[in-house]
Chain A
Amino acid sequence: MKGLFWVGVGYLILLLFFAVFGPTIRHDYLNPVASPLQPPSGANWFGTDEQGRDVFARVAYGARMSLIVGFSVQLIALVFGTLVGIIGVFGKRWARDPLMRLTDGMFAFPDILLAILIIGVWSTGLVPVIVALSITAWPGVARLVKTQVATLKDREFVVSARALGAPTTYVVFKHVLPHLTSILLAVAMVDLAGTILAESALSFLGIGVTPPTPSWGSMINDARAYINTQPLLLVWPCAILSLTIFALNFVGDGLRAATDPRNR
């Protein structure tokens, strides 16, 4: 398992470089650079798509999109979910109860159904996708933080800090949150995989990132029409998406195992 963790970390670092430099290093990702549906060659490493655009650059831009959506959503969900979770334990009753009922209610919606509703009545595009997926992602974080904080609340160091008259915000930032960073990091890694999948699914359905901006999901959808003539068009985004999901799960599981006190 430890080997898989480091393979995952290595892959993700490569993916980051790919996302930053890949889209423009050799060819532009938006405009045709050669004749359409070419197999891989020295000029176009992954070949060209139905419009003659460089597939390498487009897959790399898809990586950029996935990571932008994934990190934004996880950051928003972490901040908001942690806040709600802490209010759920330390908050005043008037703030705590409605927020907790809202958190419970959010679990009534399966998977990305709520995201589909939000995009449906609002619009497609990068910002609606990030907002919609953030709204579906925070309740999980809130519930996790709430249960973790609830157990920390009664530990000696928190009780004594409060007995000494420390204000709640100080106790939260100084004594409670530091205990949560490792488990939240591990969970965020696995959730990141879920967010990237959701973004690709929305783009595959044609309600995600707006074309011609490339996304793995929309590339997979477009490539289905050329499954006979150029099946490689399908292989690149499918393979890189699947590998990314694997890597994030390995890294997340590894982090979780490393932060689990039972394994020390």
Chain B
Amino acid sequence: MSATLAKNLGLRLLYALLSLLFISFVTFVADEISPGDQATLLAGEKATPEAVLRLREQLGLNRPWGVRYGEYLGGLANGNLGNSFHGTREPVSVIVNRTLPMTVTVATCAILLAALIGIALGTIAAIKQNRVADRTILILSTLGVTIPTFVLAPVFVKIFAVNMDILPSGWSSQLAGPVWMYLLMPVVILAARPTAQITRLCRASMIETLQQEFIKLARAKGVPPARLYLRHGLRNAILPVITAIGTNFGFLLTGSFIIETAFRLPGIGATAIEAIKKGDTPVIQATVLIAGALFVLINLLVDLIQPTLDPRIREAQV
């Protein structure tokens, strides 16, 4: 590992750390400025203002915000996300542990599907540039980028659950079939936009690569087409595509809010929306914090993977 690369990676790590701090700070401030705090809630509706003040003192809510932000960070480091305002005042960490696996499963399946199909379609479109296959793929990907998830969801339900009756229309507490049947439609719909974006990007990147000198040389040398396109072409064209996979993961997280609501999936997105409707601030904070942290970490991962794929980055200056 060269010194410049180490410095580069150090900077990336620092940037990710600062992003995480920023996200935690924003979620902390959001609670500060939100109307009503824990004391007013715990004291109940009939409490006198004096009782609320006393409780606020007991809970330490009257201390300067800097101290409490430090405490908040300390709590986060120990996995303490506070308690829900409602029901049995369940710890938020328990709620997150219960709902996060569903969201991560759906999002991961969707991004894998999107990467696989996107790279395949993009490569085909680039090879068949300006032919029928290319035009068809371009039109499909334009549709995929512009038609929103919450339009696709009811349309798919109408076709596959109502008319054809081959897939369930949404999650239920008693599953009548294998789990993948319930996740198939959400995953495919969630993958639509990333697939389209990766396709377009992969096509553009591949077309640029195929015009390079070394491709002409390889072709002249008689390298067989499969090897030419995959080993010589795609391997060079794939870098911007990998970056796009990272940024698209952010869309998948917010997209999961919509898809989980549409299909009643018990994930972190649906939990967040429920919490907003009930005014459950600790749950809102935690879900946003975790979604944001995942986004930062995935993009950090992408940044770290890139040098192992491309020697040019490994050698490059910061």
Nearest-CB distance from A238 to chain B (Å)? 5
> CA–CA, A114 to B19, complex, Å?
14
Please determine whether A122 and B154 come into contact, CB atoms closer than 8 angstroms. Answer: no
Please determine whether B34 and A109 come into contact, CB atoms closer than 8 angstroms. Answer: no
Q: Pick from A205, A231, A238, A242: contact of B258, CB below 8 A.
A: A205
Q: Which residue of B lies closest to A108 (CB)?
A: B19
Given A108-B296, A119-B276, verify A113-B151 contact (CB < 8 Å): no
Given A108-B296, A121-B281, A242-B147, verify A116-B272 contact (CB < 8 Å): yes
Is A201 on the interface with B (CB-CB < 8 A)? yes
Is A245 on the interface with B (CB-CB < 8 A)? yes
Is A186 on the interface with B (CB-CB < 8 A)? no
Please determine whether A109 and B292 come into contact, CB atoms closer than 8 angstroms. Answer: yes
Is A223 on the interface with B (CB-CB < 8 A)? yes
Nearest-CB distance from B82 to chain A (Å)? 14
Please determine whether B157 and A204 come into contact, CB atoms closer than 8 angstroms. Answer: no
Q: Pick from A112, A114, A200: contact of B150, CB below 8 A.
A: A200
Q: Which residue of A lies closest to B32 (CB)?
A: A121
Q: Pick from B26, B258, B276: contact of A201, CB below 8 A.
A: B258
* Number of A-B pairs, beta carbon distance below 8 Å: 119
Given A108-B23, A112-B254, verify A120-B275 contact (CB < 8 Å): yes
Q: Which residue of A lies closest to B153 (CB)?
A: A224
> CA–CA, A238 to B26, complex, Å?
34
Please determine whether B150 and A217 come into contact, CB atoms closer than 8 angstroms. Answer: yes
Nearest-CB distance from A198 to chain B (Å)? 9
Is B85 on the interface with A (CB-CB < 8 A)? no
Is B220 on the interface with A (CB-CB < 8 A)? no
Q: Pick from B18, B20, B27: contact of A117, CB below 8 A.
A: B27
With a 10 A CB-CB cut-off, give which of A111, A117, A193 has the most chain B CB atoms: A117
Please determine whether B23 and A109 come into contact, CB atoms closer than 8 angstroms. Answer: yes
Please determine whether B284 and A117 come into contact, CB atoms closer than 8 angstroms. Answer: yes
Nearest-CB distance from B261 to chain A (Å)? 6
Q: Give chain A residues whose Cβ lies under 8 Å from the Cβ of B227.
A: none
Q: Which residue of B lies closest to A117 (CB)?
A: B288
Is A110 on the interface with B (CB-CB < 8 A)? yes
Nearest-CB distance from B314 to chain A (Å)? 25
Please determine whether A122 and B34 come into contact, CB atoms closer than 8 angstroms. Answer: yes
Q: Pick from A111, A112, A120: contact of B276, CB below 8 A.
A: A120
Q: Give chain A residues whose Cβ lies under 8 Å from the Cβ of B146.
A: 193, 242, 245-246, 249
Please determine whether A110 and B250 come into contact, CB atoms closer than 8 angstroms. Answer: yes
Q: Would you give the 0/1 interface string for B268-292, flagging 1 where the beta carbon is closer than 8 Å to chain A?
A: 0000110111000100110010011
Q: Which residue of B lies closest to A243 (CB)?
A: B146
Is A125 on the interface with B (CB-CB < 8 A)? no
Given A108-B22, A217-B150, verify A117-B253 contact (CB < 8 Å): no
Is A207 on the interface with B (CB-CB < 8 A)? yes
Q: Would you give the 0/1 interface string for B236-247, flagging 1 where the beta carbon is closer than 8 Å to chain A?
A: 000000000000
Please determine whether A113 and B148 come into contact, CB atoms closer than 8 angstroms. Answer: no
Given A116-B272, A121-B31, A217-B150, verify A238-B155 contact (CB < 8 Å): yes
Please determine whether B273 and A201 come into contact, CB atoms closer than 8 angstroms. Answer: no
Q: Pick from B147, B151, B158, B291: contact of A220, CB below 8 A.
A: B151
Please determine whether A111 and B251 come into contact, CB atoms closer than 8 angstroms. Answer: yes
Nearest-CB distance from A58 to chain B (Å)? 17
Is A263 on the interface with B (CB-CB < 8 A)? no
Q: Would you give the 0/1 interface string for A176-215, flagging 1 where the beta carbon is closer than 8 Å to chain B?
A: 0000000000000000010001001100111100000000
Q: Which residue of B lies closest to A245 (CB)?
A: B146
Q: Give chain B residues whose Cβ lies under 8 Å from the Cβ of A249.
A: 146
Please determine whether B154 and A227 come into contact, CB atoms closer than 8 angstroms. Answer: yes
A residues contacting B by CB (< 8 A) are 105, 108-114, 116-122, 124, 193, 197, 200-201, 204-207, 217, 220-221, 223-224, 227-228, 231, 234, 238, 241-242, 245-246, 249
